[in-house]
Structure 1
Amino acid sequence: MEWLQVVVLSLIQGISEFLPISSSAHLILVPALTNWPDQGLAFDVALHVGSLGAVVVYFRHELWRMLKSWRDSLTGGKTDQDARLAWWVIVATIPVGLVGLAFKDLIEGQMRSGVVIAVGLIVFGLVLGYADRRKRGSRSEYQLGFKDAILIGLAQALALIPGTSRSGITMTAALMLGMSREASARFSFLLSIPVIVLAGGLETLNLLGDPVPVDWSAMIGGTLLSGISAYLCIHYFLEFIARIGMQPFVIYRIVFGLWLFWFFW
């Protein structure tokens, strides 16, 4: 790949992975608007590794506490708020894993159209706007229960529909359950870790049987750039929504969705 393609794809992945605007909707525009060749599975895996590294580094202190407390809860120790949060992340990941495996071919085939993505952007964008205005509360991620984790997990499974946005739909569900904007975003970011690990693992297994040679310079560059942009995105997004909220992203989704309708119809 040309380095311009590497930079553009890496920035798109790093920024849109954690914003409620759908990374798939943006990535589909790259081949539609350029004559660049397909970047290949190896590069997709590299970009996801960068995003994963960003969220792990950003939440390293929280993750370390969660991991220790979760381990202690397995060995008969006290189940504190960090252990419970770790369990809720696991519970909320199960639905998307099951749905992804069951409908993998449908999701990667018939549903990856510009019109489907446009509908997902607009419909779930409006739902996000409603949740942010009408249902938002003050609960933190540490005040979640088992039922909350299941509901957010079921919502996350909807993100397999292109255009929905994994972060967008999980934040929407969290807001509907009375969580604050910041807590909704933090829990969504924590949920991204097992999802990216699972998706990246499947892609890596597919990659092992791919005879196409790997462009290691592009992969390393893409991983680093995706990771840096994702880290900055997480940091500034949390500050942004605390002051302004979700409505600018809702407007962006609607405008972008209407443009996609015009472009692909």
Structure 2
Amino acid sequence: MSALQIFVLALVQGITEFLPISSSAHLVLVPVLFGWADQGPLMDVAVHTGTLLAVLVYFRKDTVGLLLAALGSIGIVPARRAVAGSVYGKLFWALVIATLPVVIAGFWLSASGLHAVLRSPQIIAGTSILFGVLLWLADRYGPRVKALDAMALKPALLIGLAQILALIPGTSRAGITMTAGLALGFGRQEAARFSMLLAIPTLIAAGTLAGAEIAASEDTMLWRDALTGAGLSFLAALGAIHGLMRWLSHAGMTPFVLYRIALGLVLIIFFWTGSS
């Protein structure tokens, strides 16, 4: 893989992972638009690992709190005491509940072979527009009054069920979970924060699988490409998270919605009309 391809993929992944515009869609489209061979799932996972490190660093207080809550849940008393009275005990279980639906659905999708079929520009065009409109509706009409302290198991499960739709490229994992959070009454920053924390379990699982595959390989080029991609995506994602949280402190989702609609329309023109 060329240095340019690694740079572009890492930059695209880092910027789009936590914005509600679908990183998976962009990772599918980049090789198509540039005429590159598909980078394959391993490079996808490598750049996703970089974004995992970014969210762990940016939300380091939450990361420590959730880790202590996890340790406390398996009986480690000092860890349980450290987060007693905080939101992290409840938030940890909310994240567990919200993660389970997409894990189950993901295994089924992988076993069925449908995942490859869904990686098409035509599907991405439709999902970009449809779920962009839903994001706008939730942002426009959601009450946005709840803080993350109010996250209970029921809303967490609903957000987790919505996350299943992110298995379809173009939907956007960040976008659909923020849409669900906003529709359930959470504030913009709170919905975004839960969405980013919800990415951690999935990204850890994907990064562990990729790490095992890379570790078993003696291909030094594979090591170099994966580490370079992860490092670049980490830097890009850290900047994107910081920018998004600052933006949501005073403005809404409209720019992302307009981008999604524009992207969908361009894809319709480029791929559907071009193939007719």
Length-normalised TM-score, structure 2: 0.89
Q: 1:81: which partner in 2?
A: 87
Q: CA deviation at 1:196?
A: 1.1
Higher mean C-alpha displacement, 80-89 vs 147-156: 80-89
Unaligned runs of 5+ in 2: none
1:38 matches 2:34: no
Identity %: 45
Q: Deviations over 1:73-109 (max 9, x none)?
A: 4437556421100111111000000000011144422
Q: How does 1:1-265 map to 2 (within 5 A)?
A: 1-75=1-75, 77=80, 78=84, 80-104=86-110, 105-204=112-211, 214-265=221-272
Q: Deviations over 1:233-254 (max 9, x none)?
A: 0011011122221011011101
CA distance in 1, matches of 2:174, 2:181: 11
Length-normalised TM-score, structure 1: 0.92
Q: Deviations over 1:9-64 (max 9, x none)?
A: 11000011110001122122222122333334442232111111101111111111
Determine if contact 1:67/1:83 at 8 Å carries over to the other structure.
Answer: no
State the secondary structure of the residue aligned to 2:35.
coil
Tell me how many residue pairs correspond in the alignment: 265
- Write the letter of the residue equivalent to 2:191: S
Determine if contact 2:29/2:121 at 8 Å carries over to the other structure.
Answer: no
CA distance in 2, matches of 1:205, 1:221: 17
- Write the letter of the residue equivalent to 2:108: A
Against the structure 1 CA distance between its residues 219 and 70, is the aligned structure 2 distance closer, same or farther, given a 3 Å change threshold?
closer
Higher mean C-alpha displacement, 87-96 vs 32-41: 32-41
Q: CA deviation at 1:4?
A: 1.4
CA distance in 2, matches of 1:18, 1:117: 18
Against the structure 1 CA distance between its residues 57 and 133, is the aligned structure 2 distance closer, same or farther, given a 3 Å change threshold?
same
Q: CA deviation at 1:5?
A: 1.3
- Write the letter of the residue equivalent to 1:89: L
Unaligned runs of 5+ in 1: none
